Structure 1
Amino acid sequence: MKTVRHNAIKDLLVKTSVTNQDELRRKLAQGGIHVTQATLSRDIRELKLLKGPDGYELPEGESEENELPSIAGMLESFGTGVKQAQNLIVIHTTMGGAQPVAASIDYEEFDEVIGTIAGDNTVLVICPDLRNADEFRRRMEAYLA
Protein backbone atom coordinates (compact mmCIF):
# COMPACT_ATOMS: atom_id res chain seq x y z
CA MET A 1 0.00 0.00 0.00
CA LYS A 2 2.89 2.34 0.75
CA THR A 3 4.29 2.02 -2.77
CA VAL A 4 0.85 2.66 -4.28
CA ARG A 5 0.46 5.73 -2.06
CA HIS A 6 3.93 7.05 -2.92
CA ASN A 7 3.29 6.58 -6.64
CA ALA A 8 -0.07 8.34 -6.32
CA ILE A 9 1.59 11.29 -4.55
CA LYS A 10 4.28 11.53 -7.24
CA ASP A 11 1.64 11.34 -9.97
CA LEU A 12 -0.42 14.11 -8.36
CA LEU A 13 2.62 16.38 -8.06
CA VAL A 14 3.53 15.83 -11.72
CA LYS A 15 -0.01 16.63 -12.89
CA THR A 16 -1.20 19.34 -10.46
CA SER A 17 0.07 21.78 -7.89
CA VAL A 18 -0.51 20.93 -4.24
CA THR A 19 0.01 23.76 -1.77
CA ASN A 20 -0.38 21.98 1.59
CA GLN A 21 -0.82 18.61 3.29
CA ASP A 22 -4.57 18.93 3.66
CA GLU A 23 -4.98 19.55 -0.07
CA LEU A 24 -2.75 16.56 -0.81
CA ARG A 25 -4.78 14.39 1.59
CA ARG A 26 -8.05 15.46 -0.10
CA LYS A 27 -6.71 14.78 -3.60
CA LEU A 28 -5.49 11.35 -2.52
CA ALA A 29 -8.91 10.62 -0.99
CA GLN A 30 -10.59 11.57 -4.28
CA GLY A 31 -8.46 8.86 -5.88
CA GLY A 32 -9.54 6.34 -3.23
CA ILE A 33 -6.43 6.57 -1.04
CA HIS A 34 -7.36 7.57 2.51
CA VAL A 35 -4.46 8.50 4.78
CA THR A 36 -3.93 10.16 8.14
CA GLN A 37 -1.96 13.38 8.55
CA ALA A 38 0.81 11.49 10.36
CA THR A 39 1.17 8.98 7.52
CA LEU A 40 1.16 11.77 4.97
CA SER A 41 3.90 13.64 6.87
CA ARG A 42 5.99 10.46 6.87
CA ASP A 43 5.39 9.99 3.14
CA ILE A 44 6.44 13.58 2.42
CA ARG A 45 9.64 13.04 4.41
CA GLU A 46 10.38 9.66 2.76
CA LEU A 47 9.78 11.06 -0.73
CA LYS A 48 11.99 14.06 0.14
CA LEU A 49 9.37 16.45 -1.22
CA LEU A 50 10.35 20.09 -1.36
CA LYS A 51 8.06 22.98 -0.42
CA GLY A 52 8.40 25.65 -3.10
CA PRO A 53 6.50 28.88 -3.74
CA ASP A 54 3.86 26.95 -5.71
CA GLY A 55 3.55 24.13 -3.17
CA TYR A 56 5.11 20.69 -2.92
CA GLU A 57 7.60 19.62 -5.56
CA LEU A 58 9.43 16.40 -6.30
CA PRO A 59 13.20 16.44 -5.78
CA GLU A 60 15.26 17.37 -8.85
CA GLY A 61 15.13 14.58 -11.44
CA GLU A 62 12.14 12.79 -9.92
CA SER A 63 9.46 14.31 -12.14
CA GLU A 64 11.27 13.39 -15.34
CA GLU A 65 11.46 9.72 -14.47
CA ASN A 66 7.71 9.59 -13.86
CA GLU A 67 6.80 11.19 -17.16
CA LEU A 68 6.22 9.15 -20.27
CA PRO A 69 7.36 10.45 -23.63
CA SER A 70 4.65 12.40 -25.44
CA ILE A 71 2.21 10.64 -27.72
CA ALA A 72 3.82 12.49 -30.63
CA GLY A 73 7.17 10.89 -29.80
CA MET A 74 5.59 7.49 -29.26
CA LEU A 75 3.80 7.56 -32.61
CA GLU A 76 6.98 8.73 -34.32
CA SER A 77 8.78 5.71 -32.83
CA PHE A 78 6.08 3.04 -33.06
CA GLY A 79 3.10 4.26 -35.10
CA THR A 80 2.34 2.85 -38.55
CA GLY A 81 -1.26 3.92 -39.16
CA VAL A 82 -4.57 5.18 -37.78
CA LYS A 83 -8.09 4.10 -38.75
CA GLN A 84 -11.52 5.06 -37.48
CA ALA A 85 -14.69 2.99 -37.09
CA GLN A 86 -17.46 5.20 -35.72
CA ASN A 87 -16.36 6.26 -32.20
CA LEU A 88 -13.44 3.80 -32.16
CA ILE A 89 -9.90 4.57 -33.28
CA VAL A 90 -7.44 1.82 -34.14
CA ILE A 91 -3.77 2.77 -34.01
CA HIS A 92 -1.43 0.30 -35.70
CA THR A 93 2.12 0.07 -34.36
CA THR A 94 5.25 -1.93 -34.88
CA MET A 95 5.42 -5.22 -32.95
CA GLY A 96 5.58 -4.49 -29.23
CA GLY A 97 4.69 -0.82 -29.72
CA ALA A 98 1.04 -0.88 -28.67
CA GLN A 99 1.58 -0.90 -24.89
CA PRO A 100 3.80 2.21 -24.76
CA VAL A 101 1.52 4.06 -27.20
CA ALA A 102 -1.59 3.23 -25.13
CA ALA A 103 0.18 4.18 -21.89
CA SER A 104 1.15 7.51 -23.41
CA ILE A 105 -2.44 8.20 -24.50
CA ASP A 106 -3.70 7.27 -21.03
CA TYR A 107 -1.06 9.45 -19.37
CA GLU A 108 -1.93 12.52 -21.44
CA GLU A 109 -5.62 12.24 -20.43
CA PHE A 110 -7.13 13.44 -23.72
CA ASP A 111 -10.63 14.86 -23.21
CA GLU A 112 -11.88 13.03 -26.30
CA VAL A 113 -10.74 9.58 -25.04
CA ILE A 114 -12.63 7.32 -22.62
CA GLY A 115 -9.98 4.59 -22.55
CA THR A 116 -7.55 2.39 -24.43
CA ILE A 117 -6.91 -1.32 -24.91
CA ALA A 118 -3.54 -2.44 -26.22
CA GLY A 119 -2.50 -5.65 -27.88
CA ASP A 120 0.98 -6.27 -29.27
CA ASN A 121 0.78 -4.08 -32.37
CA THR A 122 -2.69 -2.52 -32.16
CA VAL A 123 -4.26 0.03 -29.81
CA LEU A 124 -8.03 0.39 -29.58
CA VAL A 125 -8.98 3.90 -28.47
CA ILE A 126 -12.56 4.37 -27.29
CA CYS A 127 -14.09 7.82 -27.71
CA PRO A 128 -17.50 8.87 -26.37
CA ASP A 129 -18.89 9.89 -29.76
CA LEU A 130 -18.14 10.39 -33.44
CA ARG A 131 -17.16 14.06 -33.08
CA ASN A 132 -14.51 13.29 -30.44
CA ALA A 133 -13.27 10.32 -32.46
CA ASP A 134 -12.87 12.49 -35.58
CA GLU A 135 -10.92 15.07 -33.60
CA PHE A 136 -8.66 12.47 -31.97
CA ARG A 137 -8.02 10.65 -35.27
CA ARG A 138 -7.01 13.89 -36.99
CA ARG A 139 -4.62 14.68 -34.15
CA MET A 140 -3.01 11.23 -34.33
CA GLU A 141 -2.72 11.43 -38.13
CA ALA A 142 -0.93 14.76 -37.78
CA TYR A 143 1.59 13.16 -35.40
CA LEU A 144 2.20 10.36 -37.91
CA ALA A 145 2.65 12.71 -40.89
Structure 2
Amino acid sequence: MNAKNTLTSVQRRSLIAKLIRQGGVESQSHLVKLLAREGVKVTQATASRDLEELGASRARNASGEFQYVIADESTSKTTSAANLIMSVTASGNLAVVRTPPGGAQLLASAIDRNSLNGALKSAIGTIAGDDTVLVVSKTANGGADLAKSISTFASGVKGKRK
Protein backbone atom coordinates (compact mmCIF):
# COMPACT_ATOMS: atom_id res chain seq x y z
CA MET A 1 0.00 0.00 0.00
CA ASN A 2 1.24 3.47 -0.86
CA ALA A 3 2.23 5.48 2.22
CA LYS A 4 0.12 8.46 1.12
CA ASN A 5 -2.98 6.27 1.12
CA THR A 6 -2.64 6.07 4.90
CA LEU A 7 -2.81 9.82 5.47
CA THR A 8 -4.90 10.98 8.39
CA SER A 9 -7.83 13.26 7.58
CA VAL A 10 -5.80 16.23 8.90
CA GLN A 11 -2.86 15.37 6.62
CA ARG A 12 -5.20 14.81 3.65
CA ARG A 13 -6.93 18.15 4.25
CA SER A 14 -3.56 19.86 4.49
CA LEU A 15 -2.67 18.40 1.08
CA ILE A 16 -6.03 19.52 -0.33
CA ALA A 17 -5.48 23.04 1.00
CA LYS A 18 -2.05 23.08 -0.64
CA LEU A 19 -3.54 21.95 -3.98
CA ILE A 20 -6.24 24.62 -3.77
CA ARG A 21 -3.74 27.36 -2.95
CA GLN A 22 -1.64 26.30 -5.95
CA GLY A 23 -4.75 27.01 -8.03
CA GLY A 24 -6.71 25.16 -10.62
CA VAL A 25 -8.93 22.83 -8.55
CA GLU A 26 -12.08 23.23 -10.63
CA SER A 27 -14.41 20.60 -9.18
CA GLN A 28 -14.66 17.78 -6.68
CA SER A 29 -13.98 15.19 -9.38
CA HIS A 30 -10.93 17.18 -10.49
CA LEU A 31 -9.72 17.21 -6.87
CA VAL A 32 -10.12 13.42 -6.67
CA LYS A 33 -7.91 13.10 -9.79
CA LEU A 34 -5.29 15.50 -8.40
CA LEU A 35 -5.17 13.56 -5.14
CA ALA A 36 -4.80 10.30 -7.08
CA ARG A 37 -1.75 11.79 -8.85
CA GLU A 38 -0.34 12.43 -5.37
CA GLY A 39 -0.98 8.78 -4.47
CA VAL A 40 -4.05 9.47 -2.33
CA LYS A 41 -7.21 7.56 -3.22
CA VAL A 42 -10.45 9.15 -2.02
CA THR A 43 -14.07 9.06 -3.11
CA GLN A 44 -15.85 12.17 -4.30
CA ALA A 45 -17.94 12.04 -1.10
CA THR A 46 -14.76 12.18 1.01
CA ALA A 47 -13.44 15.05 -1.11
CA SER A 48 -16.74 16.88 -0.61
CA ARG A 49 -16.58 16.45 3.19
CA ASP A 50 -12.95 17.59 3.24
CA LEU A 51 -13.75 20.70 1.18
CA GLU A 52 -16.64 21.51 3.53
CA GLU A 53 -14.41 21.05 6.58
CA LEU A 54 -11.77 23.35 5.06
CA GLY A 55 -14.38 26.00 4.32
CA ALA A 56 -13.52 25.83 0.63
CA SER A 57 -15.95 27.20 -1.91
CA ARG A 58 -16.02 27.80 -5.62
CA ALA A 59 -15.38 31.30 -6.89
CA ARG A 60 -14.45 32.86 -10.21
CA ASN A 61 -10.76 33.36 -10.85
CA ALA A 62 -9.29 36.27 -12.84
CA SER A 63 -10.13 34.44 -16.08
CA GLY A 64 -13.77 34.08 -15.05
CA GLU A 65 -13.51 30.32 -14.52
CA PHE A 66 -14.71 28.64 -11.34
CA GLN A 67 -12.18 27.09 -9.00
CA TYR A 68 -12.03 26.26 -5.31
CA VAL A 69 -10.68 28.86 -2.90
CA ILE A 70 -10.08 28.85 0.83
CA ALA A 71 -10.52 32.06 2.78
CA ASP A 72 -7.36 33.32 4.46
CA GLU A 73 -7.25 31.78 7.94
CA SER A 74 -6.17 35.10 9.43
CA THR A 75 -9.52 36.56 8.38
CA SER A 76 -12.60 35.31 10.15
CA LYS A 77 -15.41 33.87 8.05
CA THR A 78 -17.76 36.49 9.42
CA THR A 79 -15.45 39.31 8.34
CA SER A 80 -15.11 37.74 4.90
CA ALA A 81 -18.89 37.53 4.61
CA ALA A 82 -19.27 41.14 5.73
CA ASN A 83 -16.92 42.24 2.97
CA LEU A 84 -19.08 40.47 0.39
CA ILE A 85 -22.45 41.93 1.38
CA MET A 86 -23.48 45.06 -0.49
CA SER A 87 -27.18 44.97 0.44
CA VAL A 88 -29.83 42.72 1.96
CA THR A 89 -33.48 42.98 0.91
CA ALA A 90 -36.39 41.00 2.40
CA SER A 91 -39.55 39.78 0.69
CA GLY A 92 -41.96 37.21 2.13
CA ASN A 93 -39.90 34.21 3.17
CA LEU A 94 -36.83 35.31 1.20
CA ALA A 95 -33.78 37.48 1.68
CA VAL A 96 -31.96 38.69 -1.42
CA VAL A 97 -28.30 39.50 -0.80
CA ARG A 98 -26.25 41.47 -3.35
CA THR A 99 -22.49 40.94 -3.58
CA PRO A 100 -19.67 42.19 -5.81
CA PRO A 101 -19.40 40.21 -9.08
CA GLY A 102 -18.18 36.68 -8.37
CA GLY A 103 -18.88 36.89 -4.63
CA ALA A 104 -22.23 35.11 -4.41
CA GLN A 105 -20.86 31.54 -4.32
CA LEU A 106 -18.48 32.31 -1.46
CA LEU A 107 -21.17 34.11 0.54
CA ALA A 108 -23.77 31.37 -0.08
CA SER A 109 -21.30 28.78 1.17
CA ALA A 110 -20.70 30.81 4.35
CA ILE A 111 -24.45 31.21 4.90
CA ASP A 112 -25.03 27.48 4.33
CA ARG A 113 -22.28 26.53 6.80
CA ASN A 114 -23.66 28.91 9.39
CA SER A 115 -27.24 27.70 8.95
CA LEU A 116 -26.02 24.14 9.55
CA ASN A 117 -24.06 25.06 12.68
CA GLY A 118 -26.92 27.11 14.13
CA ALA A 119 -25.55 30.63 13.69
CA LEU A 120 -28.26 31.44 11.11
CA LYS A 121 -31.05 29.23 12.44
CA SER A 122 -33.82 30.69 10.28
CA ALA A 123 -32.11 29.93 6.92
CA ILE A 124 -32.90 26.61 5.24
CA GLY A 125 -30.95 27.07 2.01
CA THR A 126 -29.38 29.33 -0.57
CA ILE A 127 -29.23 29.72 -4.33
CA ALA A 128 -26.31 31.74 -5.69
CA GLY A 129 -25.75 33.42 -9.00
CA ASP A 130 -22.76 35.59 -9.83
CA ASP A 131 -23.58 38.59 -7.64
CA THR A 132 -26.84 37.63 -5.93
CA VAL A 133 -27.71 35.10 -3.21
CA LEU A 134 -31.31 34.07 -2.58
CA VAL A 135 -31.69 32.85 1.01
CA VAL A 136 -34.86 30.95 1.97
CA SER A 137 -36.38 31.28 5.45
CA LYS A 138 -37.91 28.38 7.39
CA THR A 139 -41.09 30.38 7.98
CA ALA A 140 -43.60 31.82 5.49
CA ASN A 141 -43.06 35.44 6.54
CA GLY A 142 -39.54 35.11 7.87
CA GLY A 143 -37.70 37.09 5.20
CA ALA A 144 -37.42 40.27 7.27
CA ASP A 145 -36.07 38.42 10.31
CA LEU A 146 -33.73 36.44 8.06
CA ALA A 147 -32.41 39.63 6.44
CA LYS A 148 -31.80 41.05 9.91
CA SER A 149 -29.99 37.85 10.97
CA ILE A 150 -27.81 37.93 7.85
CA SER A 151 -26.96 41.57 8.51
CA THR A 152 -26.07 40.79 12.12
CA PHE A 153 -24.09 37.72 11.05
CA ALA A 154 -22.12 39.88 8.65
CA SER A 155 -21.00 42.38 11.29
CA GLY A 156 -23.54 45.16 11.05
CA VAL A 157 -24.40 45.40 7.35
CA LYS A 158 -27.86 46.99 7.41
CA GLY A 159 -30.68 45.12 5.69
CA LYS A 160 -32.94 47.06 3.34
CA ARG A 161 -36.57 45.98 3.46
CA LYS A 162 -39.23 46.39 0.81
Output the TM-score relative to the length of structure 1: 0.52
Q: Does 1:67 find its partner at 2:77?
A: no
Aligned to 2:132: 122
The Cα shift of 1:79 comes to 0.9
Give the structure with the larger helix fraction: 1
| Change in 2 beyond 3 A, CA 1:3/1:129 | same
131-140 or 67-76: bigger deviation: 67-76
**How far apart are the structure 2 equivalents of 1:84 and 1:91?**
9
Identify unmatched segments of 5+ residues in structure 2: 1-31, 33-41, 57-70
Q: Match for 2:97 among 91, 100, 109? A: 91
* Other structure's SS at 1:124 match: strand
The Cα shift of 1:78 comes to 1.3
**How far apart are the structure 1 equivalents of 2:45 and 2:101?**
33
The Cα shift of 1:94 comes to 0.8
Q: Does 1:112 find its partner at 2:118?
A: no
Output the TM-score relative to the length of structure 2: 0.48
* Other structure's SS at 1:114 match: strand
The Cα shift of 1:119 comes to 0.9
The Cα shift of 1:81 comes to 0.4
Q: Does 1:3 find its partner at 2:9?
A: no
Contact 2:92/2:141 (<8 A) preserved: no
Identity of aligned residues (%): 27
Q: Match for 1:81 among 87, 93, 106? A: 87
**How far apart are the structure 2 equivalents of 1:71 and 1:9?**
18
Q: Which amino acid aligns with 2:128?
A: A
How many residue pairs match? The answer is 93
| Change in 2 beyond 3 A, CA 1:3/1:73 | farther
The Cα shift of 1:84 comes to 0.3
Contact 2:94/2:136 (<8 A) preserved: yes
Contact 2:91/2:144 (<8 A) preserved: no
| Change in 2 beyond 3 A, CA 1:96/1:10 | closer
> Higher Cα Rg: structure 1 or 2?
1
The Cα shift of 1:71 comes to 5.3
The Cα shift of 1:105 comes to 0.9
